[in-house]
Chains A and B, each alone.
Chain A
Amino acid sequence: MKPKIAAQSGTFESSDVIFLIEPLPDNSGRKLDISSTVMQQYGSSFNRIVTEMLDEYQMTDIHLIAKDKGALEPTIKARLETAINRSMERQEGTL
């Protein structure tokens, strides 16, 4: 699936992460820009979570920007799920 609109979730606070999603032209695949204050320690786990969730939601033609300030795994998942739903204009349950 392709994002319908640009969307975001999360904050720049410590222990949180902010996700920004933009739709890309058809057949562009996925473009990921991930930065994290704990890239050295948790970079691989962060990338794995993002890839798994994008797979789960079958997202494609998506530009995903993540700026992480040490969010825990449940926080990362919740923020990303919200960003994906918002980008699909599924506002219910995303506040």
Chain B
Amino acid sequence: MLNSLGREIPEYIEGIGKLEPFQGALAKLRKGWMSEPTIPAPNRAYLPHQSKLCKSLEEAILRSNPHNGMTVSFHHHLRNGDILLVQTLTILHNMGIREITLASSSLNECHDPILPYLKDRTVTRIFSSGIRNQLGRAIALGILDTPVVIHSHGGRVRGIHTGKIKIDLAIIPASAADCEGNATGSHGKSAFGSIGYAVIDARYAKEVIVVTDNLVDYPCIPLSISQNFIDHVVVVDSIGDASKIATGTTRITKSPMDLRIAKIAADVIEHSGFFVPGFAFQVGAGGASLAVAKFIREKMKTKGIKGSFMLGGITSYCVDMLNDGLFETIFDVQSFDAVVSNSLLNNRRHIEIPAALYANPFNCGCITNKIDVVVLGALEIDVDFNVNVITGSEGYIRGASGGHSDTASGAKLTVVVCPSFRGRIPIIKKRVHTIVTPGETVHVLVTERGICVNPMFPELEENLKRAGLNVKDIHDLEIEVDKITGIPGPLEYTDKIVGIVEYRDGTIIDVIHQIKEK
């Protein structure tokens, strides 16, 4: 069956079930309630003064009813410094547990060591918002029989509370925790800031293990994760490589290309009609996106504009803007550097939020719905403004859906920033390889060669043209870039589906086909 973007979606996939085709960004939400029931979270009971402390991760896992076919979940707040996902799967593998479903909120390069467990069927299914490096390559080449499911950060929460992802065991690394499992990421030697993605896991997993390298006296505050959901607590020497978890401050890019794109994007925002007192703002941590914040900060100071809140993945740059008094509040679901942890711990206007409040579409309103302006990156964008942030030019999975589609659907102005080509590969396509974010939620594309406004938003185009900005038709820009780079030869795929991309509401927006290796 075809979805509303013309992508062929199978009706049923073995190991995943029936699929519902994407029908439009807000199509499922318009009726005001969700047909899928919320599954009950497991009930558990602990006796007064019963100890939750386990001597080792192995012991905690043994006490958590490990079994074939189980689903194990992780959060990715330790980013590329995480070591516990690999350790846990190694323990399960050595126990002889097979056919595990891995449900990590994202996967990074540091998870490459689990590749042998995909080969030997220790892990047979994966849910994640992102997959990269060797894992992304192996999956694109067809190592798993069941396609991986790519979800957004908001979509993951929906998937868990509607029972699409049934977590048997959640492993929650924390940089500080007490003997009852109250835990946080906001202090300790391995501090990583907000633990927002793990909150839903703690609530819904049948067994929850908090792992920390910093056991503090009871109670551990703040109660980012609270004891009433925690079964076992393990103290280890290290939860990860601190130098890769969070370091210092995030620097603004020095790349002239990124800075030029960012400056144009800031001009676009200024003249969009949404740069007004009280505006809510989100930027990514990547090159050009974060640099937009630098130019917006200058414009806010010059024009005396004060915003309402900043949302999302938070960098030290956002913290500086809060401290400058340019924004009232930060809502932080994920923190990108060490300075952010301090601010999160000490500034009451810097608020830790769970992923459900951040972006889950199936509730009475997530904060992404309140965004005025969001700046996002892209691996590819097509002439219908559909964005790919998951598959690279060679067809491998090498990115993350993350909050891309969540924030785009909520924002009044979604600005996509990217160079018009990278390493000879044109970024503007007739058709993107994989759609993650539908074009109807993308308002404007900013490249170094010009600005393209989605024709669904003529008023915005009018505003930008009136300001004298370099607005081009996206079809013209596509041809202009193709002339510079030459038209790339097509990639070759097989019929086998290796991944499905869920839109935030659970419908299927696209599928990823196995790439033919040359």
Which residues of A are at the interface with B, using a C-beta cutoff of 8 A? 14-15, 37-45, 69-73
Contacts and interface: CB of A to CB of B under 8 A. Distances in A.
15 contacts: A14-B422, A14-B423, A15-B422, A37-B423, A38-B393, A40-B518, A41-B488, A42-B424, A44-B489, A69-B423, A70-B424, A70-B425, A71-B424, A72-B424, A72-B485
Q: Which of B394, B423, B488 has the most CB of A within 10 A?
A: B423
Given A38-B488, A40-B394, A73-B486, 10 more contacts: A38-B423, A39-B518, A40-B489, A41-B488, A41-B489, A42-B486, A43-B489, A70-B425, A71-B424, A72-B424
B422 A42 contact: no
B486 A45 contact: yes
Top 4 A-B residue pairs of the complex, sorted by shortest distance between their CB atoms: A70-B423, A41-B488, A70-B424, A14-B423
A11 to B, nearest CB: 13
Interface string B370-412: 0000000000000000000000011000000000000000000
B432 to A, nearest CB: 15
B393 A41 contact: yes
A38 B518 contact: no
Given A40-B491, A41-B489, A70 B422 contact: yes
Nearest to A73: B486
B364 interface: no
B484 interface: yes
Nearest to B485: A72
Interface string B417-440: 000001111000000000000000
Interface of B: 393-394, 422-425, 484-486, 488-489, 491, 518
Interface of B is mostly: loop
Contacts of A38: 393, 423-425, 488
Given A40-B518, A41-B393, A15 B423 contact: yes
A38 B423 CA distance: 8
A37 B422 CA distance: 11
Contacts of B518: 39-40
A17 to B, nearest CB: 10
Nearest to B515: A40
Contacts of A73: 486
Contacts of A43: 489
Contacts of A41: 393, 424-425, 488-489, 491
Contacts of A45: 486
Nearest to A45: B486
A14 B258 CA distance: 14
A38 B488 CA distance: 9
Contacts of A71: 424
Contacts of A40: 394, 489, 491, 518
A66 to B, nearest CB: 14
A93 B384 CA distance: 46
A15 to B, nearest CB: 6
A69 B422 CA distance: 10
A28 to B, nearest CB: 28
